[in-house]
Amino acid sequence: MADTSSLRVAVVGGGPGGYAAAFLAADLGMKVTLIDPETNPGGVCLYRGCIPSKALLHVAKLIEESHQARNWGIEFSDPKIDVARLRSWKEGVIKKLTGGLGQLSKQRSVQYVQGRAAFENSNTLRVTKSKGGDEALAFDRIVIATGSRPAVIPSLKLDSARMMDSTSALDLQDIPKTLLVVGGGYIGLELGSVYAALGSRVTVVEMTDGLLPGADRDLVLPLHKRLEKMFEGILLNTTVASLKEEKNGIRATFEGQNVKEREKVFDKVLVSVGRKPNSEIAGLDKTRVKLGPKGFIQVNQQLQTDDPAIFAIGDVVGEPMLAHKATHEGRTAVEVIAGHKYRFEPNAIPAVVFTDPEVAWAGLTENQAKAQGREIKVAKFPWAASGRALTLDRQDGMTKLLIDPATERVLGVGIVGPGAGELIAEGTLAIEMAALAGDLELTIHPHPTLSETVMNAAEVFYGTSTDIYRPKK
């Protein structure tokens, strides 16, 4: 192993990409400085993204399931929601996790600087400290992990306490009677589900012809059907033309061919129309770092920018903007800095939408296969034939495999149903290990579990499923 103990490495941004990079670099013996404005590492994911949203979605699922229990002869009275207590429980989860990261940082002797970094040149950062003062620090290598922020549509910008982005929605100030969610992507649907479960009447507006644009339609359908019951409205092919504050709320006007009601007043509006990379870092123009057309920092497969001293990882370098992608990129960048032969070339980056049902996919999707003109075989196993799904009273799920007809290799996996986010890990492993459909078919899965549906889908591919009946042609 190369001697890296003399390398001074700075990591700018303490999200799941940045802190993973900093901690691994310290473990490999480098002298590491991690810079972030928060008290502890964690970034968007821990403070205002993955973790708070999943804590609240857990509560939403519990409430929804308590309603469903009526079907099983168990009646709960309507929940009494103590918003302040719920908020403080969620804050407690964040504090525990970020505090833990602060400890791990200290244990590794990572120098954690609370502040914001700007570039003076390729090897020098000027750090403005949150507690006052600034300092120029020199490094051999710098890893940019500054993440992303909510995108803003200028025409929908309104300076009003009734307007929310994902960050303020997670603050959970109150539960509005009516909520308009602009954008039917995963963040809008997850947060819309939380507010709907807590009692808001939620309307989602999506400008394309379906929720979760980009995801395979057969995976989205069961979610759409359930959300139709949970939400007051789902308006597709619709855009919000204007938002205007009035005494009793925000008046939204809608445009689109199918729009029936042109205007409506909502207590609050959540705009969730995507995210933008935080690549406008002061002084970046004093380095050789280049940005791509959408503002992402350009990197190669080793996460090196066009400046030999600077690496970049996570949301700031491109899609998919997901925490686990950021972490793996962070680790890769550090291995490369350490002189190891490494590059970021995953066969599958799983994506999970933590709604109810959850939607998850990994590897090739049917949409991508179609766009590439790639021949695939699709094998689907409906959860209506899964014993475990029936014991959960959830027959709305489905597991599908995308298989290369020539080699029988599993190229993609898609799952919709409760727990799909956990199940997709098996699909991701299958793709990374170059598993054949036969490997999944022959792997004994525990019964009764939802994981069996992955094996069952492989049986469908070979026409050997004994859980469903398909007459031979």
Ligand X SMILES: Cc1cc2nc3c(=O)[nH]c(=O)nc-3n(C[C@H](O)[C@H](O)[C@H](O)COP(=O)(O)OP(=O)(O)OC[C@H]3O[C@@H](n4cnc5c(N)ncnc54)[C@H](O)[C@@H]3O)c2cc1C
Binding site for ligand X (CB under 6 A): 12-18, 35-38, 43-45, 49-50, 53, 116-117, 145-148, 166, 187, 278, 281, 314-315, 321-324, 326, 354
Q: In this complex, which beta carbon is closest to ligand X, that of residue 112 or of residue 383?
A: 112
Query: To the nearest whole angstrom, how small is the minimum distance from the Cβ of residue 265 to ligand X?
Result: 26
Q: In this complex, which beta carbon is closest to ligand X, that of residue 276 or of residue 409?
A: 276
Q: In this complex, which beta carbon is closest to ligand X, that of residue 269 or of residue 379?
A: 269
Query: To the nearest whole angstrom, how small is the minimum distance from the Cβ of residue 380 to ligand X?
Result: 25
Query: To the nearest whole angstrom, how small is the minimum distance from the Cβ of residue 360 to ligand X?
Result: 11
Query: To the nearest whole angstrom, how small is the minimum distance from the Cβ of residue 326 to ligand X?
Result: 4
Output the residue with the shortest Cβ distance to ligand X.
147
Query: To the nearest whole angstrom, how small is the minimum distance from the Cβ of residue 281 to ligand X?
Result: 5
Q: In this complex, which beta carbon is closest to ligand X, that of residue 43 or of residue 397?
A: 43
Just list the catalytic residues: 447
Q: In this complex, which beta carbon is closest to ligand X, that of residue 53 or of residue 203?
A: 53
**CA atoms of 260 and 240, how far apart (whole Å):** 13
Query: To the nearest whole angstrom, how small is the minimum distance from the Cβ of residue 146 to ligand X?
Result: 4
Q: In this complex, which beta carbon is closest to ligand X, that of residue 13 or of residue 222?
A: 13
Contact 384, 438 (CB under 8 A): no
